Every structure is written in C-alpha cells, then in structure tokens.
Amino acid sequence: MQLSGKTNLIALGALVIVLAIIPNFLANNYQVSILILIALYTIMTVGLSLLMGYAGQISLGQAVFYGFGGYITAWLAVRNDVPPIIAMLMAAIVTGVFAYVVGIPMLRLRGHYLAMATLGLNVIFELAVMQETAWTGGPDGFKGIPKFSIGDFVFETDREMYYVVWFFALLILVLSLNIVNSRVGRALRAVHASEIAAEMSGVDTAHYKVAVLVLSAVYASIAGSLYAFWIGIISPSVYHLTFSIELVVMVAIGGLASVWGAIFGAASVTLIAEGLRNILPQLLRGASGEQEIIAFGIILILVMIFLPEGLTTGSIQRLRKWRADRAMVADLQRSVDVMGGEPPRAA
Amino acid sequence: MAIETQILQLIFAGVTVGSIYALLALGFVVIHNVTGIVNFAQGDFAMLGALVAVTLTEKTPIFNRVFVADFNLPLPVAIALSTLIVSAIGVLFYLVAIRPAQGASIISLIIITIGAHFVFQGAALITWAADPYSLPRFTSGGPLEVIGAILTQQNMWVIGVTIFLLVLLYLFFDRTLLGKALRACAINRTAARLMGININRMALLSFALSAAIGALAGIVITPANSMSYGDGTFLSLKGFVAAIMGGLNSATGAVVGGIILGILEMFGARYLSSGYKDAIAFVVLFAILFARMSGWLKQGQTQTEEAGL
C-alpha cells in the first residue's frame, strides 16, 4: 500500500492524539497492559513486515531477537548495574551484529529452507537459554529487572510505561515509513518482485536482504528490552517458537507489505487472543484458553486463501478495484446515455 | 557396560527413532514431489494417528471429560481405522486449504500449512486436553539381546513397519499405473498433465498417502513414547530435516536421512550433551544447507530448487 507523505502525516497525527488520550478512558491496569503489548508487538511486526513484505524473506525465528534483547538487557541491568537506556542500546547493537552474522549465510537460503532454518534458530535459542543457566538463569530466568528510567526519572507504573513503549513504537513506525518511501524501499520492493531483475538493475540484493533482517532484529531487540523493563522478569517460555509464528500471523493479517497494516495486525491478533482467552474457558468448561491457536490457524488459512496480501492491503485493493469497476460502468452508462442508444446488457 | 554394547545399544535406539523420522520424511517427500509444497503440519498427522488410535481402542475421556469414548476396538482394527481417518483428514486439509490457494506464493503456502498445524494442534487440545496418551505394546514377548544390547519387541515393530511400508511404497511407485503417474508429476508436472494425468487428483492422492504414512509413524512409536497434542511440532521439524538430508525429492534419501539423523541424535545426546539433543537436527540442517550452497553437495540440487524454490 502506498500512501503519500501527507496522508501518512495525517494518519500519524491522528494516531498520536488517540494514543495520548486513550489512557484516560481505561478502567484498569489490565487494559493498559494490553495496549502496551500491542505497542511491543507493533514494533516487532513492523520489522517483520519489512522483511516479509518488502524483502520477501520469511522469518520464523523473530522471537530469538526479542529474546536477545530481553536477556542482554536483563544481564546488563541486573548483573552489571548498567542504566536501562544504555543497556537497551547495547542490547540492540549486539542483536544487530548477531543478526548480521547469521543473516549472511542464512538469507542465501530460499522459501521453505529459510523458513526451516529460522525455525531451527529459534529451537536452538530456546534450548540454549534453558541450558546455559549460568548466563540466563535457566528455566527460572532473570528476576528483579529494574524499571525503565531516564536519568533520575523512573517509569514506575504501567501507565507511565505505556507512554514509553508507544513513544518507541511511533518512532519506529516513522522511521519505517521513511525507509519504505525511500530509494531503499524501492530497492526492497524490487527484490521482492524479482531478485534477478533487481540484481540486473544494479540492486545489491544480498546486501539489502541482510540489512532488512538486521533492522527487524534491532526492532525486536528494542521490544524485548522494553518488555523486560516493564514486566521485571524474563523466562524462556516467552521466546517459544509459537511466539515467532504468532508474529507471522500478525504480519499476515496486517498485510505483508504494509507498515500501517502492522499496527492493525498486532492490535487485532492481541485483542482476538485476549478475547478468546477470556471467552473460551466459559464456552468450554476447563479450557485453558490455549485453544485460541485453532482460531489463529483458521484465520491464517482464510486470509492466505482469500486475501494473500493481508487483511488491510488486500481489502483496500479489493475496494479500489470495486470502485474502479463501478466508475467504469458509470462511464459506460454515461456514454451510452449521450449516444442515446440502448444501455449495455450484462453479459 | 562394554563399549561395543553401549555403541550397539545407541545404534538400536537411533535406528528406532530414525525409522520414525524416515516415515515422516517420506510423507514430506511424497507431498513435495507432487505439489511442490512443504507441509509443516506433517508431524500432526502422526500425533492425530496416535491419539485417534488410542481413542478407538481404550476408554478415553474426550472434550474435557464431557464424553467418554468407549469403542474398545481390537488394536489392529483401531490402527487401520485411525490410519484411514487421518488419511481422510489429509484429503480434507488439501481440499479446504490447499486447492483453493492454487497459484499462491511460497510464503503464502508456508503460512497456510503453519495455519493447518495450529488448527490440528488446537483441535487435538480441545479433544484430548494436554494429557499424554500411550497405546499398549503390539506384542508382549521378551527383547532381543545382542552382546548385551537390548532391542525391545516394540522397537522391532517400529523398524519392521518402516521396512514393510518402504517395500509397499516401492511396489506402489514402481509397479502400479497410479504410482507411476505420481512419479511422473514429481518429474515434470506440466509434462505429466500433457500426458493426460489429472494433476489435482494426484495432489489429493499425495496428501492422502502422506497423511496415512504419518499416522502409522505416530501409531508405532506411541507404545514406547507417549503422545500428546503438541508433539507434532518436533516430529514435523525432524522429519523435514531428514527429508532435506536426502535431497527432499528422493524416498530412499529420506529414509537414509531419517536413520542417520536418529543415530546422530542418540550419539549426540549420549556423548555431547543430552540437553541439546533437539538441537542436533538443526545443526545437521545448517551444515547440509550451507555445504550444499557452497557447492560441496551439488548432486543434491533438485529440479525444484533450480526452478527457484
């Protein structure tokens, strides 16, 4: 979906206003925490959407970068008393370097192979976190991660954290919109459309693919750090494979090549998941709420069959086509009226 | 324990586990050859096969203990019926989710099979909850002992069923017209179509066959290892690694890959680190993919890869 700079600015302004006033209408911390989750997922989904939609590369291991961010931040902040914002920055750098190192060989793989390799990375990461207890705290994870702070100001409550997390989410959104609408964005779309053609037009495809992976990894790392500061505890269960796949669901629903769709995908999946978690145990006595995955499965399949461009991009394209068709029919009708002939009969 | 006993014991265990990987890998190869799709839900066929068989043969509380399934069928009947049911599920999966998406990109198809994996897993969770189930041993005789290493009867069943299925599949693909038509699709879909082979029907058949093989794989291991709703994930992953070890388009390769993977896992768990046992498959996967990329294993390159997979 291509939006002009002006439309983007208006949409962004509206979003900022809505986000700024929403907390006043929220009844409890549960609702605030859901909005924080949406912001964290938005950060990651934007990155993954760039990777999947623009660069055409799938990653089923995005939770690894999220985990890198979380664990490095926790390790620096808890064991070494590094101030939060510096810990976050250092985690992002390390994660970026890590993504670069694994990305160079991995992104030479394609399709199913890349999907499996990234999945494998996730499995290995999970095992390593469980096994290397000296570094990671094993199954118990890290406890007592300090709250986020800048200088002396500590973001103590969920509501305060809400503004921090959304600040980063919006920052990343703006950055990504700029990337998409720049020379780099065009190069990426070219890579997605045809790697060979892009290569022939002088685009260094390998370079761009790795660059987007690194970018998405840095985003994920930032989200991971923020999560660690917010919750205060991190443990391996957060970085499970299922989370990586849920992120792909968010991108798929939001639209494979749509920065704005990423917010929509992150928000709808989070809300559906929370809704199901609350409703399912009532419908099905004793259900743990984990059964929500069946709904995600069905949504994924339906979206991929009927709107492979994603729910937002796909619907907008459908709508545009429908409007264009209608305009054409109207034009035809008018010309027929002018000519004074019989209206065309439907074939 | 003497070292040769130890090694033989690990080989026995490895071949048993490897046989399961081999069967799952075969399932991947059959579908991939005919349709070009890698079915991430392959392991769920094994999970479903096992759980359906358990339900048919033993008193099982289902749907949150709302119902109690009490079919009490004899084990062989339950196994046959479960294989048929899962095969039908495979066909349904193809008709509902794969055929309508014809012409979709590889990313879309990957996401669809992942979606199916979620659906199967969620449905199993709703039906059987998160409890582990197991089947009774097929036969109750004593184990085979070779220089102190033990091969249980169930392990022999696993290996035996794998060999039996391989022979059956060989005969099917080599001696029957239908099998030859499937192979023709694998070699060149367009040419096969021009020869009057109904590609859609062949794709459907490949899902039915692959689901049945998967179900049997799940059934034969369930007396030794228990099975629960989430076990499909790792079975899929390892089956896929085994299939790639064999080049993703060769049935023989898939079987050899599966058995080598099983043995590597057992030795790795014993001599390197038991905690990283599940990582071994992926280390192997990376090694193979990167080796192939740098041209060491060029002969493994297949037609589909050349076509831009």
Structure tokens, A182: 């720049």
* Beta-carbon separation of A305 and B101 below 8 A: yes
pTM above 0.90, yes or no: no
pLDDT higher than 90, residue A37: yes
A308 vs A297, higher pLDDT? A297
Distance between CA atoms of residues A164 and A226, nearest Å:
9
Query: Would you call B276 and A131 a contact, using CB atoms and an 8 Å cutoff?
Result: yes
**Count of structural domains within chain B:** 1
pLDDT digits (tens, 9 = 90+) for B159-200: 999 999 999 988 998 899 998 998 888 888 888 888 888 889
**Burial (0-12, 13-18, 19+ Cβ within 10 Å), A283:** exposed
Q: Which amino acid makes up residue B108? A: S
pLDDT in tens, A332-344: 888 777 776 665 5
> Is the pLDDT at A194 greater than 50, yes or no?
yes
Q: What is the 3-state secondary structure (H, E, C) of chain A?
A: CCCCHHHHHHHHHHHHHHHHHHHHHCCCHHHHHHHHHHHHHHHHHHHHHHHHHHCCCCCCCHHHHHHHHHHHHHHHHHHCCCCHHHHHHHHHHHHHHHHHHHHHHHCCCCHHHHHHHHHHHHHHHHHHHHHCHHHHCHHHCECCCCCCEECCEECCCHHHHHHHHHHHHHHHHHHHHHHHCCHHHHHHHHHHHCHHHHHHCCCCHHHHHHHHHHHHHHHHHHHHHHHHHHHCCECHHHHCHHHHHHHHHHHHHHCCCCHHHHHHHHHHHHHHHHHHHHHHHHHCCCCCCCCHHHHHHHHHHHHHHHCCCCHHHHHHHHHHHHHHHHHHHHHHHHHHHHHCCCCCCCC
Q: Return d(Cα B180, Cα B158) in angstroms, integer.
A: 28
Point out the residue among A116, A292, A294 whose CB comes nearest to the CB of B123.
Answer: A294
For the residues A159-167, what does the mean pLDDT come to? 93
B240 and A116 in contact by Cβ < 8 A?
yes
Torsional sign, CA A80, A85, A86, A92: positive
| pLDDT of the residue at A346 | 54
H helix runs in chain B, sequence order: 3-35, 42-57, 75-93, 106-128, 153-175, 177-187, 189-194, 199-221, 232-245, 251-271, 277-293, 303-306
Residue B104, Cα to own-chain centre: how many angstroms? Answer: 25
Interface test with B, best of A102, A288, A304 (most B CBs within 10 A): A304
Tell me what pLDDT residue A148 has. 92
Give A294-316 as a DSSP string: HHHHHHHHHHHHH-TT-HHHHHH
CB A247 within 8 A of CB B114: no
More confident of the two residues A156 and A5: A156
pLDDT of residue A341: 61
Domains of chain A in sequence order = 5-308 (1.10.3470)
Question: Are the CB atoms for A220 and A69 separated by under 8 Å?
Answer: yes
Cβ neighbours, 10 Å, residue A83? 15
- Would you call A308 and B108 a contact, using CB atoms and an 8 Å cutoff? yes
Report the pLDDT value the prediction gives residue A342, as an integer from 0 to 100: 62
pLDDT at A231: 92
What's the full length of chain B, in residues?
Answer: 309
Whether residue A123 and residue B244 make contact (CB cut-off 8 A), yes or no, is no
Chain A: closest CA distance from residue B140 (Å)? 36
Confidence of residue A4 (pLDDT cuts 50, 70, 90): low
Structure token digits, residue B207: 């899902």
Angle at B128 between CA B207 and CA B70, to 5 degrees: 100
With CA atoms as reference, report the closest residue to A278 among A288, A269, A268, A267: A288
Q: Do A112 and B101 touch (CB under 8 A)?
A: no
> In a structure prediction context, what are the per-residue pLDDT tens digits for chain B, which is 309 residues long?
788 899 999 999 999 999 999 999 999 999 998 888 899 999 999 999 999 999 999 888 888 777 888 888 999 999 999 999 999 999 999 999 999 987 788 778 888 999 999 999 999 998 998 889 999 888 888 888 888 888 888 999 999 999 999 999 889 988 999 989 988 888 888 888 888 888 899 999 999 999 999 999 999 999 988 899 989 988 999 999 999 988 888 888 999 999 999 999 999 998 888 888 888 988 888 888 888 776 555 444 444 443 333
Percent of chain B residues topping a pLDDT of 70: 94
Alpha-carbon gap: A335 to the closest alpha carbon of chain B (Å):
38
Which is it for the CA torsion A221, A227, A229, A232, positive or negative?
negative
Instruction: Say if the Cβ atoms of A294 and B273 lie within 8 Å.
Output: no
Phi and psi at residue B59, to the nearest 5°: -65, 115
pLDDT tier at A3, thresholds 50, 70, 90:
low
Name the CA dihedral angle for A238, A239, A242, A246, rounded to a multiple of 10 degrees: 80
Q: What is the pLDDT of residue B301?
A: 44
* 8 A C-beta contact, residue A105 and residue A234: no
Q: Quick check: A1 pLDDT over 50? A: no
B199 within 8 A of B103, measured Cβ to Cβ: no
Section A104-131 average pLDDT: 88
Number of H helices, E strands in chain A: 14, 2
The dihedral sign for the CA sequence A258, A259, A264, A268: positive
Q: What is the pLDDT of residues A134-147, one digit of tens each?
A: 888 888 888 889 99
pLDDT above 90 coverage of chain A, percent? 33
How far is Cα A253 from Cα A247, in angstroms, rounded to an integer? 10
Q: What's the mean pLDDT when you consider all of chain A?
A: 86
Chain B CB contacts of A51 under 8 Å are: none
Q: Are B16 and B159 in contact (CB under 8 A)?
A: yes
Of A60, A252, A297, the CB nearest to B116: A297
Contact by Cβ (8 Å): A1, A257: yes
User: Does residue A174 register a pLDDT over 70?
Assistant: yes
Judge: A116–B241 Cβ closer than 8 Å, yes or no: yes
- Nearest residue on chain B to A297, judged by CA atoms? B115
Contact yes or no for B92/B100 (Cβ under 8 A): no
For residue B149, which phi and psi values (nearest 5 degrees)? -85, 145
Parent domain of B237: 3-306
| CA nearest to B48, candidates B17, B100, B6, B93 | B93
Which pLDDT score is estimated for B308?
33
| C-alpha torsion angle, residues B233, B236, B237, B239 (rounded to 10) | 150
The pair phi, psi for residue B61, each rounded to 5°, is: -75, 130
The residues pairing with B67 across neighbouring beta strands, listed in sequence order, are: B62
Among B118, B127, B236, B277, which would you mutate to test the A interface (most chain A Cβ atoms within 10 Å of its Cβ)?
B118
The number of CA neighbours under 13 Å toward the Cβ of A43 is 29
Q: Dihedral of CA B51/B52/B54/B59: which sign? A: positive
> Mutating which of B245, B289, B292, B296 best tests the A interface, going by the most A Cβ atoms within 10 A?
B289
Given pLDDT bands bounded at 50, 70 and 90, which one contains residue A307? confident
- At residue A345 the predicted structure's pLDDT band, cuts being 50, 70 and 90, is low
Q: How close does chain A come to B97, measured CA to CA in Å?
A: 6
**A160-172 mean pLDDT:** 94
Q: What pLDDT is stored for residue B250 in this prediction?
A: 84
φ and ψ of A149, to 5 deg: -150, 150
| Contact yes or no for A107/A209 (Cβ under 8 A) | yes
Tokens found for residue A31: 């609702």
Q: Are B253 and B247 in contact (CB under 8 A)?
A: yes
